[in-house]
Amino acid sequence: MTAKLFTELGLSQESLKAIDRLGFEQASPIQAEAIPVLLAGQDVVGQSQTGSGKTAAFALPAIEKIDTAQRTVQVLILCPTRELAVQVSEEVHKLAFFKRGIHALPVYGGQSYERQFIGLKQGAQIVIGTPGRVMDHMRRGTLGLDKIRMAVLDEADVMLDMGFRDDIEFILQGMPQERQTVFFSATMPRPIQELIKKYSKDPQFVRIEQKALTVPTVEQSYYEVDRRFKIDLLARLIDIHDLKLGIVFCNTKRMVDELVDHLNAQGYSADRLHGDMSQAMRDRVMQKFRKSGLEFLVATDVAARGIDVDDVQVVFNYDLPYDAEDYLHRIGRTGRAGRSGRAISFVSGREIFQIQQIERFTRTKIHRHRVPTPTEVEEARSNSLVDKVRTTLTGGEFKRQDTLIERLLEEGFSSTDIASALMHLLQGGEPNAGPRPANKERSPRGPLPKTRVEDRERPNLSGETPTVAARTRREPSSPAEPRESRPKEPVTAAMGVPVPPPSTIAPRTKTPPWKTAESRTRPDPSVKTVVMNAPAASPSPASGDAPIDLAPKSSEVSTSKPSESTKASRRTPDGFTRLYMNIGAAMNVSSKDVLGALLGETGLPSKTIGAIDIRERHLFVDVASEQANGIIAKMNRANIKNQRVKAKVA
């Protein structure tokens, strides 16, 4: 079809100014076909792929039809997800920028009712919402649809897949019969056709040809790989293509969580998006992703609907979608607005037949690629670094460092050695500060280093690639210094308070004073510590000194075997419930880690957390009884020191 300018579509000057402000001039095919028909007042059924500009195709006519003198709801736009509702609302606000007196309001679950009540009471003329919350407002009497002029169903096929058919019919039946009804969908299954026949009057069909259903600017490929090696292949492809912003699709929420943990453990910046997350968490993740604060967003299909980020370089189908139609929605997240993009799918075993089905449905060829070797990845990384340095040298826009270079040359270093050292640092290497002590171990604390592909271990028998954290757990948790060089005093607790020297501790007696009831109830206020039974740190019996063994308080840790006093301290206070968690000292977990995770994940005040008792492979923590169930639910979705937490009542 012939391309059209927005000035040829019959829009008002205010709308044209808003379009010009956004930087658009030529209308997309779906916009050029749908806008004139909608402005004429006819019902429309539009079929177009994600990212084709269909939001503006129905939003511009809707804005044109608003009577600003009436402070009632005149246009209702239904969306399947909260993310898409927010996206459409933002688009409407941009397009109505020069239209005075138009108020658009997003209405969706997870947002405060009070804010929505105020917006509706103030007279919003355009409401963009999810079916559940719209229907809720209708039943409360806070949303009246008797003045509706246009009803728009965006992503109608997705709403039906999510089970909203009854809700949609309830909403449509509450509107005037003379309204204008608009359906937009990427596909047109039979249930959509039935709704169109029932609720539309002589609709005009606006279709993009089947051959244009997939984005032509997206390079599509697939790799045959065993399920156990998917994570390793994903890391290789990220490194070899130097990818900085991408979306990884999985079929299950559990796989999303596991993959995010793997990526973060290997040094990439990744976060999740799935249906179990609260709206506040989703908004926070999406805001971070839009600002490139994340490298990779790992998501399920439903949660990812409505993602509108222009600069996404790649879409990974870590799991192939169950339906060929979902493949269209996924790859539509890249190659938007004429930009180029990549769509890479991982195929295992009989899934090759799904690739063939997708090819028949989309009428495109998905090319099979060979899995890159570790050597090729390293070579690509080196070439990328050389290209960046060459570009910087060619451009000449860099600060001269002649003085620093001359200092190194005067010290006897050659120019090639200096350049090689700088290249080493640019590739993530660390300066060599001289020989390490013979038994000195690298501290496992601090940020996890980005693991080179060729240094990663092969997957174990369970099919999971060991993470950096997993390898760290196999290192000794106690200092590896020679025994004679260690201080002859007990190891201190995580709070960092020193233990009194042996000279201040009473000699061993038949009934040690720290095991008496009086000492348990009235400890020395100047001493606030717990002795961790590290063999090398405990005084020998021959010295006549015994370790202090106080009951752990909040944020204090005891990894020793339970003595009589610790057994007595296990009595959970009234109003508290003792929880069990599957992490312990062997995973380098401290009380600060546990306390920080509890407060960070739940948002509760510190007074709801009691004693934390860390053992070798597990721990116990006392929490306020009324908050116990909520804490268990949230901690079972959390990670501490890259370990997935499993919490339950002890």
In DSSP terms, 180 is beta-bridged to: 150
Secondary structure class of 19 (helix, strand, coil): helix
Whether pLDDT at 119 is above 60: yes
Structural contact between residues 74 and 66, judged by C-beta atoms closer than 8 angstroms = yes
Structural contact between residues 104 and 124, judged by C-beta atoms closer than 8 angstroms = yes
Q: How far apart are CA 499 and CA 493, in angstroms?
A: 9
Cβ-based neighbours of 105, under 8 Å, separated by 6 or more: 89, 116, 119, 120, 124, 126, 127, 128
User: Shortest CA distance to 70 belongs to which of 147, 127, 4?
Assistant: 147
Q: Which fold has domain 218-374?
A: Rossmann fold (3.40.50)
The matching CATH number, chosen from 1.10.760.10, 2.60.120.10, 3.30.460.80, 3.40.50.300, for 4-212 is 3.40.50.300
Number of neighbours of residue 24 by Cβ within 10 angstroms: 16
CA 104, chain centre distance (Å)? 29
Tens of pLDDT, residues 541-564: 443 443 333 334 443 444 444 444
Exposure pattern of 499-537 as b/e (b: 16+ CB <10 Å)?
beebeebeeeeeebebeeeeeeeeeeeeeebbbbeeeeb
User: Shortest CA distance to 639 belongs to which of 202, 359, 270?
Assistant: 270
Tens of pLDDT, residues 89-110: 999 999 999 998 899 999 998 8
Q: How far apart are CA 9 and CA 16, in angstroms?
A: 10
Number of neighbours of residue 68 by Cβ within 10 angstroms: 13
pLDDT of 214:
54
Tens of pLDDT, residues 360-409: 888 888 999 999 888 888 887 777 778 778 877 887 777 888 888 888 88
Cβ-based neighbours of 464, under 8 Å, separated by 6 or more: 228, 258
The class level of CATH for 483-534+544-649 reads alpha beta
Percent of the chain, pLDDT > 70?
Answer: 74
pLDDT of 498:
47
Q: What's the CA dihedral at 168, 173, 175, 179 to 10 degrees?
A: 90
Structural contact between residues 594 and 584, judged by C-beta atoms closer than 8 angstroms = no
Q: What's phi and psi for 614, nearest 5 deg?
A: -95, 125
pLDDT of 40:
92
Number of neighbours of residue 360 by Cβ within 10 angstroms: 10
Structural contact between residues 350 and 358, judged by C-beta atoms closer than 8 angstroms = no
Whether pLDDT at 299 is above 70: yes
Q: pTM for this one? A: 0.44
Cβ-based neighbours of 472, under 8 Å, separated by 6 or more: 444, 588
Q: What's phi and psi for 385, nearest 5 deg?
A: -65, -45
Band (pLDDT 50/70/90 cuts) for residue 2 is low
Q: What's phi and psi for 543, nearest 5 deg?
A: -75, -15
What number of CA atoms fall less than 13 Å from residue 528's CA on the CB side?
A: 10
Number of neighbours of residue 220 by Cβ within 10 angstroms: 24
Percent of the chain, pLDDT > 90?
Answer: 28
Alpha helices in 12-81 (DSSP H): 13-22, 29-39, 54-64
User: Shortest CA distance to 116 belongs to which of 103, 99, 101, 98?
Assistant: 103
Same fold, 4-212 and 218-374: yes
Q: Exposed (0-12), middle (13-18) or buried (19+): which is 153, by Cβ within 10 Å? A: buried
Cβ-based neighbours of 316, under 8 Å, separated by 6 or more: 234, 237, 246, 247, 248, 249, 344, 345, 346
- Map out the domains of the chain as residue ranges: 4-212, 218-374, 483-534+544-649
